[in-house]
Amino acid sequence: ETEALQLLRERNRERLTLAHPDVPSPEVDTYKIWCGHAKREEIEELDLTALYAFMDEYRQKTGEDPDPHKTWVIALDTQGEAKTQKTALWRYLVGHIEHDGHIYVLSLEQWYRTDRDYLAELRAKVSRIEDATAILNLPSWPRNQNEDEYNRQAAEMQKWLLLDRTMFTFGAPTDKIECADLLTPDRDFIHVKSMTSSATLSHLFSQGTVSARLLRTTDEYRHRVEAEYRSKYGKDFDTQSGSRVVYAIATAKEGPISENLFFFSLVNLVLHQEMLAAMGLPVAVCRIRRETS
């Protein structure tokens, strides 16, 4: 626990993330977070960015960080009504530390020990996923460029279909998702993220799987993809074969993706690769060089 608290003090994003203790209600709109008798702060998303901003403000006012065991979180709907019970922040924390040759995973206030053999097994599984870095030849990502700008640049350079920020509706009018960031003539659905935190990459992997499932199961969604593809490339899109999900991950770290991913990201990538394989869709990874200067 001492090491986990130190990670919080360091505002770590590689070994810590946040996860709901229970499946969140779709009615959840915002959150309130507070420590002790301090004012309750409203945040739109319960993520590390919002948490660390709250902790920084608390530190400025009190000279110390809030105790995660005495910091409370409650979820609210659009009317401000509580949708969860008051829950300690500590219960939301998910993290991992390495100690004496083992990896200790924190989840739901409990520590679970795993060994380095498991980590090696995860890395081996990820290393067997096709690496499309050389084939796709994505441009490097300048330090001061945001994700939207990078995707536009990559699409222009490669003459690919840009789908970033294009919302695809399925089911109810409020059910929307980004199909992918980029779609190539060879039907690679490329999902792009900078490797800033485990949570960011979890979102990336989930987006790829959900989009692929909709492509396989939802006519409305599939027809929209076909129309976008046909409009860009002037040929029909074959949804039954040839498509591939590509996770393009930007990092300044050298070496293969399998050696650089966070522990939880390794777990998640293996899980999503297996789900996509069950749908008959191959997966590839692609390293984007993130510039640091």
Res. 214: pLDDT tops 70:
yes
The pLDDT of 247-261, averaged and rounded, is 91
Confirm whether 12 is domain-assigned. yes
Q: Which of 160-169, 182-191, 207-216 has the lowest mean pLDDT?
A: 160-169
What mean pLDDT value characterizes the chain? 89
Same domain, 65 and 169: no
The pLDDT of 76-105, averaged and rounded, is 88
Phi, psi angles (nearest 5°) of residue 180: -170, 175
Same domain, 156 and 95: no
Same domain, 26 and 111: yes
Domain count, the chain: 2
Res. 52: pLDDT tops 90:
yes
Confirm whether 142 is domain-assigned. yes
Residue with the larger pLDDT of the pair 192 and 108: 192
Interatomic CA distance for residues 7 and 56, integer angstroms = 14
The pLDDT of 71-79, averaged and rounded, is 92
Same domain, 189 and 228: yes
Confirm whether 196 is domain-assigned. yes
Same domain, 135 and 97: no
Res. 171: pLDDT tops 70:
no
Q: Which among 82, 115, 148 is the end of a domain? A: 115
Res. 26: pLDDT tops 80:
no
Confirm whether 218 is domain-assigned. yes
Res. 186: pLDDT tops 90:
yes
What pLDDT shows up at residue 64?
94
Confidence of residue 116 (pLDDT cuts 50, 70, 90): confident
Q: What is the span of the domain harbouring residue 149?
A: 128-289
Same domain, 146 and 273: yes
Interatomic CA distance for residues 208 and 228, integer angstroms = 18
Confirm whether 259 is domain-assigned. yes
Q: Which among 94, 115, 136 is the end of a domain? A: 115
Confidence of residue 5 (pLDDT cuts 50, 70, 90): very high
**Cα–Cα nearest to 211, from 246, 177, 166:** 177
What pLDDT shows up at residue 130?
97
Same domain, 147 and 38: no
CB 156 within 8 A of CB 164: no
Confirm whether 140 is domain-assigned. yes
Same domain, 274 and 222: yes
Could you give the C-alpha distances from 206 to 94, 171, 199, 203, 210, in angstroms and in order?
Answer: 18, 19, 11, 5, 6
Same domain, 248 and 137: yes
Determine what percent of the chain is predicted with pLDDT higher than 90.
55
Q: Which among 58, 85, 115 is the end of a domain? A: 115
Res. 39: pLDDT tops 80:
yes
Same domain, 84 and 198: no
Confirm whether 120 is domain-assigned. no
Same domain, 257 and 152: yes
Which tens digit of pLDDT belongs to each residue from 264-293? 889 999 999 999 999 999 999 999 999 977
Confirm whether 123 is domain-assigned. no
Beta bridge partners of 17: 94
**Cα–Cα nearest to 138, from 123, 125, 124, 151:** 151
Same domain, 94 and 141: no
Determine what percent of the chain is predicted with pLDDT higher than 70.
95
